[in-house]
Structure 1
Amino acid sequence: MVVETTTSRSSSSTVVTVRCYHVVKIDGYSRSLNSHGARPAFSSSPFRAGGHNWHVNYRPMGSSHHPENTEFVSFFLVLDDIPADGEAVMAEVSFSLLRQDGTPAESRTSDVNNFSVSRDRAFGYEEFITREELERSEFLKDDCFSVRVHVHAVKQQPKPYVTVPPPDLHRHLGDLLSSKDDADVEFEVAGETFAAHRVVHGGTLGSHEYKQ
C-alpha cells in the first residue's frame, strides 16, 4: 500500500488530502464463483486512509441489492469505522484492473462521496466488469487477477484561532509622547514648548499654535 498526503489551506480551514493505493489480488477466481451462497462476497484485509479504516468488498456474481446483475463482478470500498456524530467522511474512490506487469488499465472513478450517510457506509460499482469480459481479458491469468483501489480521502480541519491580547493604546501613546522619539511638531502652551507627533495630534492642530 502506498500513501501520499497533500495539504491546501484557505482563510477559514485547512484541507488535508490523503491518497492511498491499495492492491487487492483475487487468487482463485473460479473458486470464488463456486463458494457457498447465491451471491458470495469476500472482504480484503483492512487498511487506513485519511485517519479511517477501510476494506474492499469483492462480489464475483454481482451485488445482492440487484438480482438482475449476476453476470457482473462488483467491487465496493467500505468504511469500517462508525463516524462520530456530525462527522462527514469524504472520499473519492477509483478501481483499476491491473495488467500482468502491474500497470493500471481499465478504471472507474467516482465523485467525492460522503461515506457517513451512504448505504452500508460503502461506495463502489455493482457492474464493474462482466465475468465474460474478465475471463477473456489479459487481466485474468492462472485463475488470478488484481485490482488497485485508489482512495482519495478529503478531510477539512478548522483553522486554529489566535488569541489577541486586549489593546493598550493609552500606555503606548503615553510612552511615545514621553520618549519624544521622531517628534515632528512642537506645541507652545503658556510659554512652554512641548514636543509631539503630528499623526497623534492631527485632530487638534487647528486649535493650537505649533512650530515645526
Structure 2
Amino acid sequence: MDTWSLVVRHKKIMAIPKRIVECRKGSYLLKVAGYSLYEGIGAGSCISSPVFTIGGYNWTIDYYPDGDMKGAERFAIFIIVPISNVKDLAVKLNFTMLAHDGKSSSNYEYPTKIVPNIHEHPKYYLKKETLEASKFLKGDSFRIRFTIEIIKEGPLEKTVHYSRDDEVTASNLSLVSLLETGEGADVSFIVGEDIIRAHKYILAARSRVFKAQFFGPMEGKKKGSIKVKDMEASIFEAMLHFIYSDSESLPVFDEVEGNRPATVALAQHLLVAADMYGLERLKRVCEKKLYEFLDVDNLATTLALAVQHYCSDLKDACMHFVKAPYVLGAVALAEEFEHMITIYPTFFKELRQLNTAAEPY
C-alpha cells in the first residue's frame, strides 16, 4: 500500500489590462500510514514524499516524525521543499488536517500564510500529543492537505498561446564537461599515480578550503601542481564531480549499486574527503547514504567516523540503532569495535544515559 497519495488541481490563467497575473493553485494530499512505526527514528531524520508538480514547479514534503532538530521532538514537523529552481518565488500556503471521511476541521486548519521566498522552506508544526488525542489519527494513520498557490506578475506585451506542457530546449550548460576535458584547467592534483586537472576559480567558489589554498595565505597557493595525500584518486575524482555538478546523484555510487559493503566504504571515504575540503552538502549526502545502509556489520566504523568528523545526526542514528535489543552484542563482536571505542571512549557512558533517560516529552 502506498504511504503517499496525490491530488492536484489547477486554476486557469486570468489577465487584466497592462499586466498579466498568473495564479496556479494545487492541493497535495499527504497520507501518513504507520504513524507509530516512525516514532523514535530520531530528531533530524525525515521521510520524503514523492515529487509532485503544482504550478509548473516540482515539490516534495519532508516529514520529520521526531522533529527536525534536537529540542523539537514533541512535534511532527512538515517542510515544503521546492525541487525546481524557485528563486524569489512568492506563494500562499495552507495546511489542513483531514478526518478519514475527507472532511476538514477549522480547529486544525492553519491560517493561510504568504511566503515571499519559498526557497526558505516553510515549516508546519503539529504537536504529537494533540494529534494522538484527536480523531484525525485513526488506524495508526492521518491525512493532511497542503495547498500551494503561486502568483506571478509581469508586463502584458502581446496575446499569445502558451502551454506549460510545451517542450523547452534543454540547457547545454555543463561544468562537468570542463572537468572531463580539462579545457581551461589551471591547476593539477597529483593523487597517487594519477594527475587530475581542474579549475581554481570553480573549486574556490565551491570550497572555502580550496579558496584559501589558491587565493589566501596558505602555503603553496601559487603552485601549479598540488600533491593530495591519504586519498584514492577515485574518491578525489568523485568529490570533484560533485563540485562541478552540484548533484547528489554521483556516478561513482551507480558503479557499486547492489554491492552493500562497497557502497558503505565509498560513502565513508567520500565523507572524509568532504569534511577535509569543507563541502557540507556532500558531507550530508554521504551521511544519508550511510544511514540508509547502516547495519551491525558497519555500525562500529560508521559511528567512529561520525564522531571523528562531527556528524551529529549520523552519530545519533548509530546510537539509537545500537541500543536496540541484541544489537550491541552483535556489534561488539566486530573487529572494528575496539578501534571505535578508542575513537569514542565515552561510548558506554552515553549509551547508558540514552537507555536510562526518560522520554523528553
TM bin, normalised by shorter chain, reads 0.5 to 0.7
In 2, Cα distance between equivalents of 1:161 and 1:135: 54
Q: Secondary structure at the match of 1:134?
A: helix
Q: Does 1:68 find its partner at 2:71?
A: yes
In 2, Cα distance between equivalents of 1:153 and 1:40: 29
Q: 1:8 to 1:20 in 2, by over 3 A?
A: same
Q: Which sections of structure 2, spanning at least 5 residues, go unmatched?
A: 1-6, 160-361
Q: Secondary structure at the match of 1:4?
A: coil
Q: Write out per-residue CA displacement over residues 102-151 of structure 1, whole angstroms, 9 at most, x where no aligned residue.
A: 112211134322335x43xx1122xx221111111111111111111111
Alignment partner, residue 61 of structure 2 = 56
Higher strand share: 1
What does 1:46-195 correspond to in 2, within 5 Å?
46-64=51-69, 67-83=70-86, 88-105=88-105, 106-115=108-117, 118-119=119-120, 122-125=121-124, 128-161=125-158
Deviation of residue 7 (structure 1)?
Answer: 3.3
Give the alignment's TM-score, normalised by structure 1: 0.64
In 1, Cα distance between equivalents of 2:110 and 2:78: 11
Q: Write out per-residue CA displacement over residues 155-206 of structure 1, whole angstroms, 9 at most, x where no aligned residue.
A: 22431259xxxxxxxxxxxxxxxxxxxxxxxxxxxxxxxxxxxxxxxxxxxx
Alignment partner, residue 181 of structure 2 = none
In 2, Cα distance between equivalents of 1:97 and 1:22: 12
Identity across the alignment (%):
25
Q: 1:82 to 1:104 in 2, by over 3 A?
A: same
- Quick check: which has more Rg, 1 or 2? 1
In 1, Cα distance between equivalents of 2:76 and 2:43: 14
The amino acid that maps onto 1:146 is R
In 1, Cα distance between equivalents of 2:59 and 2:8: 14
Contact 1:77 1:93 in 2 (8 A): no
Q: Secondary structure at the match of 1:147?
A: strand
In 1, Cα distance between equivalents of 2:26 and 2:80: 12
The amino acid that maps onto 1:129 is L
Higher helix share: 2
Q: Secondary structure at the match of 1:101?
A: coil
What does 1:7-46 correspond to in 2, within 5 Å?
7-35=13-41, 37-46=42-51
Contact 1:26 1:146 in 2 (8 A): yes
In 2, Cα distance between equivalents of 1:6 and 1:124: 28
Q: Name the structure, 1 or 2, with higher relative contact order (CA <8 Å, separation 6+).
A: 1
Contact 2:43 2:72 in 1 (8 A): no
The amino acid that maps onto 2:43 is A
Contact 1:50 1:155 in 2 (8 A): no
Q: Write out per-residue CA displacement over residues 13-32 of structure 1, whole angstroms, 9 at most, x where no aligned residue.
A: 21111110110111111111
Contact 1:19 1:151 in 2 (8 A): yes
